Structure 1
């Protein structure tokens, strides 16, 4: 097949419009079909990217207009032509996230799934994209950041042609355009670039490079302890720094990130702020995906079906296990202390146990229903669903502790990840791709470690019982106990939205608010006759004891209601992990776990 050629140019940054030209030299004789994905891998929700295509026209190689019509919401078919067929279309790009496309006069960003139509039947052909600079003197300092391979004559970070072996590779390399801060380091010999777009002040790129290098080298060594060989030739951390934002999306040789600019390290300040630690954890999470989900994949994703929902019950493995390893790699890399790591674990445990949804939905069900539940959460989500991210991370923790205890530290979840890598991931892009079957994981764990998890696996993955974490931690000489917040106050059994108004965001199942008939959206006005605001509610509640009866006035829409509550006990905000057994055997297990 002949190459598929694209040109993309920020045609009108003020109007947030990219113009894309697609040329296919050997279109289907009965009329070439084109498709734009309806979702992007890594974000399991149908997003209908085709809705952002504003105009489209087709021409033959003589420049004459060719009829093109839609056959469904995301597919087009052109009339038969002799010779080459060219499509020219505009894409509206005003989604400042990691999932789609964004363009203004300060920065451009796009994922291929948002801007590049696939020429059906030609997905395996070479794809070449010419990325052009927007017109105007104001854009003379703009550069290009991407992990796509440069074509001959194109300089790295420069405008020009980039190539991919096929459509799947083309859409797996996001692109940032604009003026950005650039730093580089090598992890076990592989170049890694850090791209920070957005306004930042006194960014400490040396510290950021050194910290990310530690994380990357630890992860490379986890999967390839002998060769220390990374699965990519070059990697790009691509971050958009904003006033308020958080998120990441993995790709095979890069990641798109968004963070608060205040989370980034500042020159002259050496402390590990909570924001910076969170940012490093995000980088660690997305980098771990380079192995776990970008190459080790569920069978359902080998290959992806980007025309509809692509179901798997294994996201607890691919997102949950990744969520377990992201912070674990921070402590193993020496970037945070064991106490800090225990604090992060305790917060995760508290978050999972706070929601009644964990008792109703298994992580396997949560994975399968991600399309309609996890990515479309409402005010009742905590009462109805469980996160395959957070509970999935605790499932990984439980499996790791059980394996380490059963084998006296000789085997661990690390061995499971290495087996998955060797069998499914290492050669994924070199031959016929094979994914992990829906029912393969339990047997793979036993093969890698010699440990039959039995009822623990069944309860953790397909059941809804709470994980026996306290018992499992005992083998490592660690106690796990609930810990209310300092100065704990009685609870309403609800969470507020935040802001000046004391408006309810979530009502917890079985809590005081629900029993009294309060609902999400209700605006609290007074507690025992005293005015309530978002700022003073905690102070007012601190005057009462659990079990006290109070009267609350609240508006539901425009109707005033009176509710009489019996206050709940203080919420357990987090769980505290404490080393209580310092004997050699449990100490050795702890050290192998945290410093592997």
Structure 2
């Protein structure tokens, strides 16, 4: 045995050296880099979306090939998702055949979105079969197929050859729908035979960026009658009654289109299709595309119109993305295919400014009243003014959140911070807008930036990429000012408090009162959640489930966490109104509010030593100042 010891020592040394080298030089994926050359031939992709009962999409691809090694990619970095969120776990049943004979595949050990095959000699065509097992319930992901509605996102059902830039790959797609269903999409239809729809051939980049909504109950509205460039609202719903839109409601959507065209002074689509799902079962969504957008809301969008305005900035937000995010794109989004990582450093422009335009265009078009837009702004200002995570994490860093957190729920969102570049970004752009107005004597505004930055190349769809310096230079052309340090201070600073200078410059200030605004009241009714964020420091569902505990708020300091249920308040069975009454009563007393709470199988009592009463945010005019917010929300002539 001792005679073999040197050999064992040498073997251990060699394996240790190999491990050290592997750690120093990580394995690389054996995936061909994308080259700007045309893929030889047209890929045929057929999607069968008729299996509503099991919510399964079935695909068959016919791919022109040449003998030798070949790699197929499943899209990982999806447009508008800002992170590597391709639903790879739902791809199943992958099989390659040539001439009826199976062709083996192996997954790349480093890049698991890549599949390697060796095309046999003499083979010119590969047949590929696979399924997309769409989520059966929200715990598995967003539901995209129900008995009445389906949403087809092409990245979920598409494989493509590595080694080519996406726009140089041509795909001929077709879709088989459930019997009698209608659909909306930005794709051009070649022909429909029964329930099979064949679309015109498109490059892969256009295909991936052109989703489809289809449904048993469908209605299409023309949002720009008589215009040379069509804009359509395609609506699917759980039932036919939800499709009953009143003329004045459609008029507001038409006004939104006109206000957008006046704002940007251009268009960058051959036609535009809003895809709108009204459903309790189909997953909610708001996602931008160059010539369309996916929008999923509750069924009462039209039929409960009078009950509240919250959420009506969704369609103007996604529409504005056709200019900001799709036509003008951050330079870090200039990638050759859907498996190349995106850089998100300018999402505070891409999403933050679009968030701002969503509310502005909503108010200018009448989708929102000025009062409703102000109430929504008050809620945003209050939320970000109470983000304690600002003490350690700047808003600029939150652009990485779609990658870091993968849009999963967070235990302590006020401290961890989430994708704050959206709404806090909008506050920064309000700051910019009001600063331009102030410096120019109210002769210029962010509207002028929009026309200068997005209005170029009217009618062109070719993306134009921008950098931070491009944004600063265009702002300086609109209004002379040292914009770079102005922006960097707000993006890289650590607070305290949200950037509310723009609100004050607009002639308004954030205050708290004991009475909720209509915006908050309607939001509570819709969500069945009572919001005590600015009093006790948490929100609570009707069943007592606690959520959104504010870091270092009264409830946090008393030891409350989000995985807790309130059973009783001051020895009375919990109801939201019982807790509200207790908060009101505590304002005039010294005794703490006692909560009996359950966490798992354990019960305990928490004492909240809070006496500030109910607190809800709203905006209040600053006397003697110009009301620039009214000017911002005023419709363009």
TM range, normalised to the smaller chain?
0.7 to 0.9
Given the alignment of the two structures, is residue 281 of structure 1 paired with residue 310 of structure 2, yes or no?
A: no
CA distance in 2: counterparts of 1:393 and 1:468, whole angstroms: 11
Given the alignment of the two structures, is residue 180 of structure 1 paired with residue 213 of structure 2, yes or no?
A: no
Q: 1:173, 1:253 within 8 Å by CA — same for their partners in 2? A: yes
1:79 aligned counterpart, secondary structure: strand
CA distance in 1: counterparts of 2:323 and 2:496, whole angstroms: 29
Any idea what the Cα deviations from partners look like across 1:322-353, whole Å, max 9, x if unmatched? Answer: 11111111222244433332222222212222
Given the alignment of the two structures, is residue 406 of structure 1 paired with residue 439 of structure 2, yes or no?
A: yes
Equivalent position of 1:236 in the other structure = 273
CA distance in 1: counterparts of 2:201 and 2:479, whole angstroms: 38
Summarize the alignment of residues 543-554 of structure 1 with structure 2, pairs less than 5 Å apart.
543-545=585-587, 548-550=590-592, 551-554=594-597
Equivalent position of 2:376 in the other structure = 344
Give the alignment partner of residue 18 of structure 1, picking from 57, 61, 83.
57
CA distance in 1: counterparts of 2:201 and 2:439, whole angstroms: 46
Any idea what the Cα deviations from partners look like across 1:567-591, whole Å, max 9, x if unmatched? Answer: 1524642231427447xxx368953
Give the alignment partner of residue 57 of structure 1, picking from 95, 105, 115.
95
**Aligned Cα root-mean-square deviation (Å):** 3.1
2:95 aligned counterpart, secondary structure: strand
Report deviation, 1:461: 1.5
Equivalent position of 2:125 in the other structure = 84
Any idea what the Cα deviations from partners look like across 1:530-553, whole Å, max 9, x if unmatched? Answer: 443445222222221278342444
Q: 2:385, 2:498 within 8 Å by CA — same for their partners in 1? A: no
Structure 2 stretches of 5 or more lacking a match?
1-39, 517-530
Equivalent position of 1:149 in the other structure = 188
1:536 aligned counterpart, secondary structure: helix
Distance 1:319 1:348, change over 3 A: same
CA distance in 2: counterparts of 1:146 and 1:104, whole angstroms: 18
Equivalent position of 2:402 in the other structure = 370
Report deviation, 1:508: 1.8
Equivalent position of 2:171 in the other structure = 127
Any idea what the Cα deviations from partners look like across 1:12-67, whole Å, max 9, x if unmatched? Answer: 33222221111122x2532221111124221234334221122121122x322222
Given the alignment of the two structures, is residue 505 of structure 1 paired with residue 547 of structure 2, yes or no?
A: yes
CA distance in 2: counterparts of 1:492 and 1:380, whole angstroms: 17
Distance 1:176 1:331, change over 3 A: closer
Q: 2:564, 2:598 within 8 Å by CA — same for their partners in 1? A: yes
Stretch of structure 1 that moved more, 528-537 or 83-92 = 528-537
Equivalent position of 2:331 in the other structure = 299
CA distance in 1: counterparts of 2:257 and 2:314, whole angstroms: 13
Distance 1:554 1:372, change over 3 A: same
Report deviation, 1:592: 6.2
Given the alignment of the two structures, is residue 446 of structure 1 paired with residue 476 of structure 2, yes or no?
A: yes
Give the alignment partner of residue 264 of structure 1, picking from 289, 302, 313.
302
Any idea what the Cα deviations from partners look like across 1:101-144, whole Å, max 9, x if unmatched? Answer: 7334433221011001112235313211121245xxxx1x1223
Any idea what the Cα deviations from partners look like across 1:393-440, whole Å, max 9, x if unmatched? Answer: 1111111001110111222212222333256x768743xx54222554
Report deviation, 1:215: 0.4
Q: 1:581, 1:587 within 8 Å by CA — same for their partners in 2? A: no
Distance 1:314 1:76, change over 3 A: same
Structure 1 stretches of 5 or more lacking a match?
none
Distance 1:214 1:556, change over 3 A: same
Report deviation, 1:359: 3.9
Given the alignment of the two structures, is residue 479 of structure 1 paired with residue 508 of structure 2, yes or no?
A: yes
CA distance in 1: counterparts of 2:247 and 2:137, whole angstroms: 27
Q: 1:490, 1:568 within 8 Å by CA — same for their partners in 2? A: no
Any idea what the Cα deviations from partners look like across 1:235-276, whole Å, max 9, x if unmatched? Answer: 11112211376431111111111111112247xxxx7441xx
1:284 aligned counterpart, secondary structure: helix
Report deviation, 1:471: 5.1
Q: 2:329, 2:466 within 8 Å by CA — same for their partners in 1? A: yes
Equivalent position of 1:458 in the other structure = 488
Given the alignment of the two structures, is residue 191 of structure 1 paired with residue 230 of structure 2, yes or no?
A: yes
Equivalent position of 2:259 in the other structure = 218
Stretch of structure 1 that moved more, 81-90 or 532-541 = 532-541
Q: 2:431, 2:501 within 8 Å by CA — same for their partners in 1? A: no
Give the alignment partner of residue 102 of structure 1, picking from 112, 119, 144.
144
CA distance in 1: counterparts of 2:92 and 2:629, whole angstroms: 59
Distance 1:568 1:522, change over 3 A: farther
Distance 1:341 1:559, change over 3 A: closer
Equivalent position of 1:578 in the other structure = 621
CA distance in 2: counterparts of 1:13 and 1:369, whole angstroms: 34
Q: 1:491, 1:567 within 8 Å by CA — same for their partners in 2? A: no
Stretch of structure 1 that moved more, 530-539 or 316-325 = 530-539
Given the alignment of the two structures, is residue 313 of structure 1 paired with residue 357 of structure 2, yes or no?
A: no
CA distance in 2: counterparts of 1:392 and 1:471, whole angstroms: 13
1:507 aligned counterpart, secondary structure: coil
Q: TM-score, normalised by structure 2?
A: 0.81
CA distance in 2: counterparts of 1:59 and 1:165, whole angstroms: 25
Given the alignment of the two structures, is residue 43 of structure 1 paired with residue 85 of structure 2, yes or no?
A: no
Q: TM-score, normalised by structure 1?
A: 0.86
Stretch of structure 1 that moved more, 257-266 or 438-447 = 438-447
CA distance in 1: counterparts of 2:576 and 2:366, whole angstroms: 39
Give the alignment partner of residue 417 of structure 2, picking from 371, 379, 385.
385
Any idea what the Cα deviations from partners look like across 1:153-184, whole Å, max 9, x if unmatched? Answer: 459x9733213531111111111233232223
Q: 1:489, 1:541 within 8 Å by CA — same for their partners in 2? A: no
Stretch of structure 1 that moved more, 520-529 or 257-266 = 520-529
Given the alignment of the two structures, is residue 332 of structure 1 paired with residue 381 of structure 2, yes or no?
A: no
